[in-house]
Structure 1
């Protein structure tokens, strides 16, 4: 953090939101509290008033409202004692405490719905676990910001074009999708599943959980549109204030930390990255990840190798490059970077 220039920010007596993910119950890959403590301690050393934050989820799980969210954080080890700062759920008790933030020149989003506590902060720090992701290829700084800071209605707005369909030839009627859906959208009849699009919010959890890959994105461009909307949400969060970004590329799981389970890491640990530019940060992490060998017996080792890219191989229907290209085009940063190694 010091080498990347965090001390150039004026933290004196300012509220500092440290946006991170507290891990879903049962997940083992989430960032541990000691990482948050390091960041919070540095912010306090520089005169700031840090708090940890995240927004509630659309799907059923341990973080769908503030009470469950705080309980999950506590069970996963996050407390004032372990981190040195308090936790504030960004969009309130039921995920409805948000503020509409204009997105300058937004193509898809004119007004992003962001958790109010996150927007009330004077300084924003993104602390993310770099890993694979079933909807966006990988989850890094920009996903932590864009999707993570959206309120429940904001997340729904980002996901709305991705309502899935079921390939009935592949479906075995196992019911895994019904267990993970918060909205009772999957319906099993005669051992086959259909998705009720009136109930579905397009979060994609059923796609990731299906053991037969029978559930597919609703349109051929839904992931691309999700990426674009997410990047515009990130622009709304970051515009007009001091921001700093940290990515921790360890325990690089194939899927998001939102899962209540996770496969073994797909590649060896890489290290820690920090930058004022979230686009450059994500690009650098992806480039470094693609230089790493695959871990034997991981999801990556079992994937078809047809893309020469780890994240495209494990999630062939995603397009992480398109997401970063769009982020660069709307002024979130640059994909060009100089990687300075700190030993």
Structure 2
């Protein structure tokens, strides 16, 4: 049975105290045992979109970096570029924002490296045996790393219900080609009765697939890449999605890319249940935290880790994260598929670190 370690974090707890807990949690989970001298270690982070204030702060990543280095590893912070417009769609802006948010050698203890190159085309293909894919396209940097330390943040997500470790790996380690493959053939629609004609979705669409027809936005399905950005930025609920079919397919595709990202590599995982918002860290404004901070988890099993995160939210708040965020999406799909793929187990033993 998988083991998940857990440390509580109280609302308003001093940052120094949280940093200390991250270090103790890392040690208790034995994640340092995965590192050998000389290992190149990808510390997978999410730096947050510009303006986002609820992502995991860079200073909480530093204890992981320091412990990897103490074991003789060579840690670097990393993430891939996004499909949508913003400050993370190319490596120049991405690295600039990383510096602004503190994900740097000075503040986090390691340099930030964009995992899939200048425009997201530096990739490698990994053979898998999935329901949708026989091979997946992931970030090229993974070809040369010996270990991964994925530091993830539990949030809601408008397409997958929630984002945690599996999303951080599956979407977060996919190249541009891999991201497009996950989102393909699932275009959103605009409800003309709800559309206010504000034009926000037009400005955020990365491929100019949206135009105004009169006072209503219209999506060109032929040009749409199904990235979901319009769904995320619409404040009026005018952009809709086929949740029954679309989310199930996307969650499974995401998991298969996550499997490819970690295949053949040593990996440890940390999951923050702090500042949990309805929107994910890709939003510049994901909303206020849904409930008080719960704590931080660590494990060598990404499936058990995400399952434990969801279980703790329900245990501590009285209702599941899906009811807090996106009740129309079944979050179990990605967990079930990951378990089926052999990524881990949904059964676990929770050990609290005092």
Name the TM-score class by shorter chain. over 0.9
The residue matched to 1:220 in structure 2 has which SS?
Answer: helix
Structure 2 residues without counterparts, runs of 5 or longer: 1-25
CA drift at 1:147: 0.5
CA contact (8 A) 1:162 1:219 kept: no
Which residue number in structure 2 is paired with residue 91 of structure 1? 116
Residue 333 of structure 2: aligned partner:
322
Q: Which residue of 1 aligns with 2:86?
A: 61
CA displacement at 1:317 relative to structure 2: 3.0
Which of 148, 156, 176 is equivalent to 1:124? 148
Q: Which residue of 1 aligns with 2:106?
A: 81
Q: How many residues align?
A: 329
CA deviations on 1:103-126 (whole Å, 9 max, x unpaired) are 1x2111221111111332110111
Structure 2 Cα separation of the partners of residues 246 and 27 of structure 1 = 20
Name the stretch that deviates more: 205-214 or 58-67: 205-214
Q: 1:38 aligns with which of 63, 66, 72?
A: 63
Given that residues 41 and 76 in structure 2 are in contact (C-alpha distance below 8 angstroms), is that contact kept between their aligned partners in structure 1?
yes
User: How far apart are residue 261 of structure 1 and its match?
Assistant: 1.2
TM-score, scaled relative to structure 2 = 0.90
The answer to whether 1:23 aligns with 2:48 is yes
What residue is the counterpart of 2:264 in the other structure?
A: 240
Aligned pair 1:199/2:223, yes or no? Answer: yes
Distance 1:317 1:122 in 2: 39
Q: What is the alpha-carbon distance in structure 2 between the residues aligned to residue 210 and residue 312 of structure 1? A: 20
SS of equivalent to 2:350 = coil
Structure 1 residue 13 corresponds to structure 2 residue 38: yes
Distance (whole Å) between structure 1 residues aligned to residue 215 and residue 282 of structure 2: 27
Q: CA RMSD in A?
A: 1.4
Alpha-carbon displacement from aligned partner over 1:227-254 (angstroms, at most 9, x marks no partner) = 0001000110111121100001111111
Contact 1:183–1:199 under 8 Å retained in 2: yes
Q: Give the equivalent residue in structure 2 for 1:302.
A: none
User: Is 1:110 aligned to residue 137 of structure 2?
Assistant: no
Displacement after TM superposition at 1:313 (Å): 4.7
Residue matched to 1:50: 75
Q: 1:45 to 1:267 in 2, by over 3 A?
A: same
- 8 Å CA contact 1:161–1:225 kept in 2: the answer is no
1:12 CA displacement: 1.1
Residue 207 of structure 1 deviates from its aligned partner by 0.9
Q: CA deviation at 1:312?
A: 4.1
Q: What's 2:172 paired with?
A: 148
- What secondary structure does 1:291 align onto? helix
Shift of 1:293: 3.0
- Equivalent residue, structure 2, for 1:253: 277
SS at match of 2:27: coil
Structure 2 SS opposite 1:52: strand
The answer to which of 172-181 and 247-256 deviates more is 172-181
Displacement of 1:219: 6.5
Match of 1:267 in 2: 291
Structure 1 residue 3, shift from structure 2 partner: 0.7
Asked whether the 8 Å contact 1:161–1:219 carries over to 2, the reply is no
1:334 pairs with 2:321: no
Distance 2:114 2:223 in 1: 26
Q: Does 1:311 align with 2:322?
A: yes
Deviates more, 1:318-327 or 1:226-235: 318-327
2: distance between equivalents of 1:97 and 1:222? 28
**Deviation of 1:316 (Å):** 2.7
The aligned residue for residue 166 of structure 1 is 190
